[in-house]
Structure 1
């Protein structure tokens, strides 16, 4: 029995990055031997065990072959005869196909270290094309390591293109897709994830609504970058620079989908794109079964982001409607995330990345003014039921008028 550290832990150590998760591979062992040493079995698909003390995962060396469509269409074979090299060749990228023993002696049969130095994301073998999830994984790694100068090897991008055209991407489950998308959006350069998916044709398959934004012009006076797709990439980049949470990044990606529906003869204007885009945002939300908080914020930002930009011009009654739509009284955090998404949208324009966004503080102040209305005095005046609701609304409107005058 020989035990090796494999995959990301080896890669990140060689890159000088912090190692968080460690994967272990056991060569030359049987299930019975693992159980005898106190390891606890997990998972039904292939032999993976939890270490009796550390709780870390140890997998028996295995081979795999394609037996069906999609991510789950594989048959695994684990036995003491499977070599380390045979286990490593089934991995996605050369930089993830290295192993080291307890003395940090490196086993690198597929030249992962060379590709690390060349800053290349390259597939290990043609078997790469058997797993459609790898298209998303490679795009995610490209987003993670873009700052270090990593790019996707041309031959790997070509395999990703073939996978995108094969229909295999449609076999991915919403859960698996969302896991990769959400992780990619939280990388330091999430816009690279979208760029790579677009370069290999996967964006057109997975999110045709986002792909349709590229090549769609916007008014240069408001958008010096002109292209709506380029704008979306910039907004995502700003969201990452400002350390925004996943909810905000997801909303940033989807907020302008309605512009993809504008007839060419109306370009570069996009009248009512906020409302037109809602059905598209809903479709993307449902396709990937995004978490409820992500779905809700994306819909609200899609509908109201131009209200955010025009906050200082809004009538008190419109401002009150906006606050009611977000339920700022019970869910203040969601409104704060809306403000963040609007600010990222405003900053995601060429040459305007550093421009101030006074609308943010104005909206926060408006929410504070509306929330300052106490219900108890109105109850004491005898208001109840629908009348109480109307009285609260009148008082909040009064407070917003006073707030607007004072600002």
Structure 2
């Protein structure tokens, strides 16, 4: 029975990056032996255990064999006779297929250390083609490591293109696709994720509406802008879909199974963009109409996210209008219903009085 540190912890240590999570592989052991040592089993599909003290994950060495299409089409074999190299061979990229023994020896059967030196994202074996999710993972690693100079190796890019032609990506479940997009939107260079997907042909299947010249460049510019301004997940996703027509954005967000808040902000951003672009000047009616549609009266935090997305989706010359909106919002939200009720307004008259007072205060700006 031997224990090895594997995957991202080894990779990040060699890159000089902070090690956040540590995963371990155990060879020559059975589930019963792990349980006897106090480990708690948590894996349903294959034996994964939590260390009794550190709570870190320890997985028994395993192999995988392709049985069907898509992400779920695998059978897993785990037994004491599975070697460390066999376990590492099933992994996606060479930089993720290294291990370190308890005495500090690096185990690198597929050249991961050399690929770190050459800044190359290269697949471990042809088994890469058996799991279409690896296309998205490779794109996400490219987005994470792009500032360090990493790019996708040409043979790996060709293999991903072949996988697209074979229709493998069409078998991915939306929930898994969304999880990769969500993580990618918060990587160091999120635009690189979509660049890789476009280069290999996956974007035309995953978000085909973006796979158009000006639309694509506008989307990436908006996403990078929100990222640089530390925008929320909702704002990043809304920026990504901002060049689309409202009905396109609504349909695609739903098909990606994005969370309701993400879908909501994408819908609002794409529907308000044309209104703001068409706004001729500092007109109280037009400003209040936008505030009403954004429902700033009940959704103040969402309005802040909306401004983040709009700020990056609008042309530079139009961003002045967001300042008008912020000023109008401050003036309008200062109107107190209690004050108008004290003056005798109630029912429908109160609603109209609130609107009139909001318009008056916005006009005074």
Same structural fold, with TM-score higher than 0.5 when normalized by the shorter chain: yes
Q: Map Cα deviations across residues 64-85 of structure 1 (whole Å, 9 max, x no partner).
A: 1011121111100000110000
Query: Is residue 61–residue 87 contact of structure 1 (8 Å, CA) maintained in 2?
Result: yes
Separation (CA, whole Å) in 2 of partners of 1:300 and 1:256: 13
- Show the counterpart of 2:22: 22
Does 1:287 find its partner at 2:255?
A: yes
Q: Residues 346, 318 of structure 1: CA spacing in aligned structure 2 closer, same or farther, 3 A cutoff?
A: closer
Please state how far the C-alpha of 1:103 moved relative to its aligned partner: 2.7
- Using the alignment, how far apart are the partners of 1:309 and 1:56 within structure 2? 52
- 1:331 — aligned with what? 299
Task: Trace 1:214-229 onto structure 2 (pairs within 5 A).
Answer: 214=213, 227-229=214-216
1:201 lines up with 2:201 in the alignment:
yes
CA–CA separation in structure 2 for the residues paired with 1:335 and 1:76: 47
Number of positions where the alignment pairs a residue of Structure 1 with one of Structure 2? 365
What displacement does 1:312 show?
7.6
The aligned counterpart of 2:156 is 156
In the other structure, the counterpart of 1:372 is 334
Q: Which runs of 4+ in 1 moved over 6 A?
A: none
**Are residues 1:253 and 2:240 paired?**
yes
Gaps of 5+ in 1: 215-226, 258-276
Shift in Å, 1:379: 1.8
Q: Choose the corresponding residue for 2:283, options 289, 306, 315.
A: 315
Residue of structure 2 in register with 1:109 after alignment: 109
How far does residue 248 in structure 1 lie from its aligned partner after superposition? 1.0
- When normalised by structure 2's length, the TM-score is 0.96
Q: CA deviation at 1:196?
A: 0.5
Contact 1:309 1:342 (8 Å CA) reproduced:
no
Q: TM-score, normalised by structure 1?
A: 0.86
Q: How far, CA to CA, are the matches of 2:275 and 2:144 in structure 1?
A: 33
How many angstroms apart in 2 are the aligned matches of 1:105 and 1:309? 61
SS in 2 for 1:303: helix
SS of corresponding position for 1:313? coil
Larger CA deviation: 119-128 vs 378-387: 378-387
**Aligned position for 1:224:** none
Q: State the alpha-carbon separation in 1 of the partners of residues 270 and 296 from structure 2.
A: 18
Kept in 2, the 8 Å contact 1:41–1:47? The answer is yes
The match for 2:230 is 243
The CA deviation at 1:232 is: 2.0
Q: 1:9 Cα shift?
A: 0.6
Report if aligned partners of 2:191, 2:220 keep a CA contact under 8 Å in 1: yes
1:234 maps to which of 221, 232, 236: 221
Instruction: Provide the C-alpha distance between the structure 1 equivalents of 2:310 and 2:274, rounded to a whole number of angstroms.
Output: 8
8 Å CA contact 2:157–2:200 kept in 1: the answer is: yes
CA deviations 1:218-263 (Å, max 9, x no partner) are xxxxxxxxx3322222222222222212111111111112xxxxxx
Match of 2:31 in 1: 31
Extract unaligned runs of 5+ from structure 2: none
